């Protein structure tokens, strides 16, 4: 994890879950992560893997050049990388662990931005494969944020983070697991084994902006 936003959100999620494989969606408190809300999002994991965006921070929406709430997370990716994006989602929910990916985004004016993506599983109303908390952060500030939106994202590499060091508080392994999926090699990608928001997402609550 290179970006401070990624590190902060992972640490919060890891603290929140305790000895469970994943925390409840209702436990996520935006006040605890207000300093990174602009780079944070929540998506629904549906059977079709369209992954509707339930909440999206202001900086993420600015990267895309539009409000992302209700949009398909998969539609943000270039066509040839959507299968890779689905693999990121499946890696997080099937392994019940964090997935970090190096991502690039090409703007409409031809600029290429390097970003870091984090996906973290959440339980929702008793379901384990239902929601993902995430962050998408540029490694360098885009010079024309909101004026030159990213036309499509590409996955460059990914890592599934299994908490194996019981002596490291930030990587405490859960006693409970949701499943165990072997590392995958898919084309040019390599997989390395390594707050509370009340109510439903669509309720009239303060947005993650």
From CA 164, how far away is CA 174, in angstroms rounded?
A: 10
pLDDT at 185 over 50: no
Of 1-10, 19-28, 75-84, 175-184, the one with minimum mean pLDDT is 175-184
pTM comes to: 0.78
From CA 85, how far away is CA 10, in angstroms rounded?
A: 19
Q: Per the domain annotation, does 80 fall within a domain?
A: yes
Rounded to the nearest 10°, the torsion over CA 149, 51, 117, 129 is 170
pLDDT in tens, 36-69: 999 999 999 999 999 999 999 999 999 999 999 9
At a CB cut-off of 8 Å and minimum separation 6, what does 183 contact?
Answer: 160, 191, 192, 193
Stronger pLDDT, 11 or 143, i.e. the higher one? 11
The DSSP-derived string for 35-51 is GGGGGEEEEE--TTS--
Q: Per the domain annotation, does 20 fall within a domain?
A: yes
pLDDT at 198 over 90: no
Beta sheet of 150-161, edge-to-edge order: 53-56, 40-44, 127-138, 112-124, 98-107, 150-161
What SS3 state is found at 156?
strand
Residue-number span of the structural domain to which 83 is assigned: 4-190
Question: Is 157 within 8 Å of 190 (Cβ atoms)?
Answer: yes
Q: Per the domain annotation, does 16 fall within a domain?
A: yes
Structural domain count of the chain: 1
Q: Per the domain annotation, does 205 fall within a domain?
A: no
Q: Per the domain annotation, does 157 fall within a domain?
A: yes
* CATH number of the domain within which 50 lies: 3.30.450.20
pLDDT at 175 over 80: no
Q: Per the domain annotation, does 10 fall within a domain?
A: yes
Question: Is 105 within 8 Å of 168 (Cβ atoms)?
Answer: no
Q: Per the domain annotation, does 203 fall within a domain?
A: no
Whole-number pLDDT of residue 43: 98
Whole-number pLDDT of residue 199: 39
What SS3 state is found at 73?
coil
Tally of CB atoms within 10 A around 162: 18
From CA 18, how far away is CA 112, in angstroms rounded?
A: 38
Q: Per the domain annotation, does 148 fall within a domain?
A: yes
pLDDT in tens, 119-151: 999 999 888 899 999 999 998 887 777 788 999
């Amino acid at each position: 994890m290179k970006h401070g936003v990624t590190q902060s959100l992972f640490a919060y999620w890891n603290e929140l879950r305790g000895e469970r494989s994943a925390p409840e969606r209702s436990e996520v408190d935006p006040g605890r992560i207000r300093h990174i809300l602009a780079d944070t999002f929540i998506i629904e994991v549906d059977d079709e893997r369209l992954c509707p965006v339930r909440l999206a921070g202001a900086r993420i929406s600015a990267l895309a050049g539009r409000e992302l709430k209700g949009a398909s997370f998969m539609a943000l990716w270039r066509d040839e990388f959507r299968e890779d994006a689905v693999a990121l989602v499946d890696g997080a929910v099937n392994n019940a662990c964090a997935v970090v990916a190096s991502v690039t985004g090409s703007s409409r004016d031809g600029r290429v931005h390097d970003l870091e993506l984090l996906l973290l599983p959440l339980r929702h109303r008793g379901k384990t494969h239902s929601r993902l908390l995430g962050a998408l952060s540029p490694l360098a500030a885009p010079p024309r944020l909101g004026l030159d939106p990213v036309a499509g994202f590409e996955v460059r590499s990914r890592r599934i983070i299994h908490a194996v060091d019981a002596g490291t508080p930030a990587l405490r392994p859960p006693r409970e697991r949701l499943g165990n999926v072997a590392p995958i090699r898919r084309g040019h990608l390599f997989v390395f084994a390594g707050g509370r928001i009340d109510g439903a997402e669509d309720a009239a609550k303060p947005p993650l902006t």
